[in-house]
Every structure is written in C-alpha cells, then in structure tokens.
Chain A
Amino acid sequence: MRLEKCWFCSSTIYPGHGIQFVRNDAKIFRFCRSKCHKNFKMKRNPRKVKWTKAYRRLHGKDMTQDSTFEFERKRNRPERYDRNVTEQTLKAIPIITKARHERLKKHISDRQKPGKKKELERDNKELEQDINMLPKKLISNEASAEKTKVKVKVKVVQQQTEDRMEE
C-alpha cells in the first residue's frame, strides 16, 4: 500500500479518498479532495495558493531542511522482508513524527519572534533621528572621548601560515 501525496496541497491521500486524473499523455495527477481537484481544473498554481504546502515551503513558513525528511521517500526498488527491521521501523515512526512536530513548532515560534537584527536596525535608526533630544553635554563628551583614543600598534601572530605548512 502506497500513501500518495496530493498534487495540489501535498497532503497524504489514504486509500478510498480523493480522485485521480490521468491526462492523455499518461501523466497522473492525484487529488486528496474535491477542493484540490477544482483548483487544479481552474489551472491555479499551487505555488501561488497560500494554503498549499508548496506555497508555505517556498515562502519560509515551514521547515525546508531537516534530518527527519530523509526517512519518508519513494523507494523504487525491491526490499527483502525482514521482521526485525519492520518492527524497529514501526517503533521509530511515532518517535520521529513527534520530533518533527516539535521542530516544526520551534521553527514557527522562531519565525514569529521579532528578529534581533530588525530590533538593532530600529534602535540605530532611532538614535540617528533623535540624537538632538539628548543633552548637548553628553554628546560633546562622547565625541571628545572618541578623539582621545590613540592608535596602538599590536603585534599580529601569524598562525595561519604555519597551519598551511602542516597541511
């Protein structure tokens, strides 16, 4: 039994669900529900429809790279049945699913956090715009402090060249 993915929204299609369209060049399109089928018939591009997985992945809404993505894949080759392997696989499935869900949750919460970079940018802008609001004494002090800084020569240890020699 193969659980196929919907052409439009990438959800899993379980047996007895959805509809399949075979085009006259023998290409198969599977749809999980009539919603996806109708959207296909309207010639909509899944990359431009916001509720599809293709859109979410393309726009950084979902995880794109994760080690858990390596497990589920189409395997187009015969595999000798091994009872132990099957047992282990069945045990591993819920653990991996759990790990993936947790990572996805983290990804989404990270995404929704205001970026630290953005915060810094905003602060810098504010400083630039409203520097006049500070008392003049402070600014002049800062400027003078900067001026008094003296350049000091520092010896640079050349480690890199030695490393290269070793290689």
Chain B
Amino acid sequence: MGGKCPHRKVKKRRLSHKTARRGKFLLKADDAVYEELVKLADHGKDAEAKELPVDEDLPGMGQFYCLHCDRYFASESVKDEHYRSKRHKKRVKVMSGPAPHTQLDADLAAGMGMPDNGLKLMSM
C-alpha cells in the first residue's frame, strides 16, 4: 500500500500514482472476500476465528489480519486502530449488505432463466 517516492524533498514528486495503483491489484476482490465471510458464517465462526499461518514475508508474521479489508498489520494495537477507522467500518457495512454482483445475476437480468443442470446423476 501507499505511493511514497524515495525523493520526498521534491514537492512535485511526493506521491507516485504508479505504486499507489500496484496495491490495488494485490487486494482481494469484493466477491472473494464476501464468499470467505459467508463460508466462515456457515461454520458458525466469527471473522476473527480463522487460523493464520506464520509467514515471514508479511507484516507481523501474518498474524494480524483483517478479513474484511484483506490487510495484514504489524501488531495487535495497529489492528485495533484499524478496526476503529472509518474505512474499515465502511467496508464492514458493505460486506454485511447484499451479495456482490455475479455472472448469474447478469444472466438473470438479461432475461435468462436459472441454469438447467438436468437430473441429478447420483443420489447423495
């Protein structure tokens, strides 16, 4: 995240839009996050309950993770601070709302019926 340049002294070059954009592609998309949250909710777990593997490359060894915003933090205190932020609260609100748009929604809106998968081949 961020778009800071090495040459901060020059007023014009304080922010680099190129590096700012780079983080955008690393972030998980809305529907992927939503799916993850739904999966956790189905198991009756909280968003906090997910087990986190230790990863040296991530901030805080990948132990302080915000599922809603798909971000890793350096420590518990930083994470708590993030939870109090407006950005996080907005994100939680979006994620607790209706499911994100999918290809199925697009098909239904185009006037197609539900997909027809035929009879079930094997009974479970």
A: residues with CB less than 8 A from B are: 5-12, 23, 25, 28-30, 43, 45-47, 52-54, 56-57, 66, 68-77, 100
Contacts and interface: CB of A to CB of B under 8 A. Distances in A.
Interface of B: 29-30, 32, 100-101, 103, 105-118
A76 B109 contact: no
B113 A77 contact: no
A54 B106 contact: yes
Contacts of A28: 103
A47 B101 contact: yes
B112 A5 contact: yes
Interface of B, secondary structure class, is loop
Given A23-B29, A47-B101, A71-B113, A77 B118 contact: yes
9 contacts: A9-B106, A23-B29, A43-B30, A45-B101, A46-B106, A54-B109, A69-B113, A74-B115, A77-B117
B117 A10 contact: no
Nearest to B107: A5
Contact of B106 (A23, A53, A68, A71): A53
Contact of A69 (B112, B115, B116): B112
A72 B113 contact: yes
Contacts of B118: 75-77
Given A54-B109, A57-B108, 16 more contacts: A5-B110, A6-B106, A8-B106, A10-B107, A25-B32, A52-B109, A53-B109, A53-B110, A54-B101, A54-B105, A54-B106, A69-B112, A73-B116, A76-B117, A77-B117, A100-B111
B106 A5 contact: yes
B104 to A, nearest CB: 9
A53 B110 CA distance: 6
B116 A10 contact: no
B106 A10 contact: yes
Contacts of A54: 101, 105-106, 109
Nearest to A30: B103
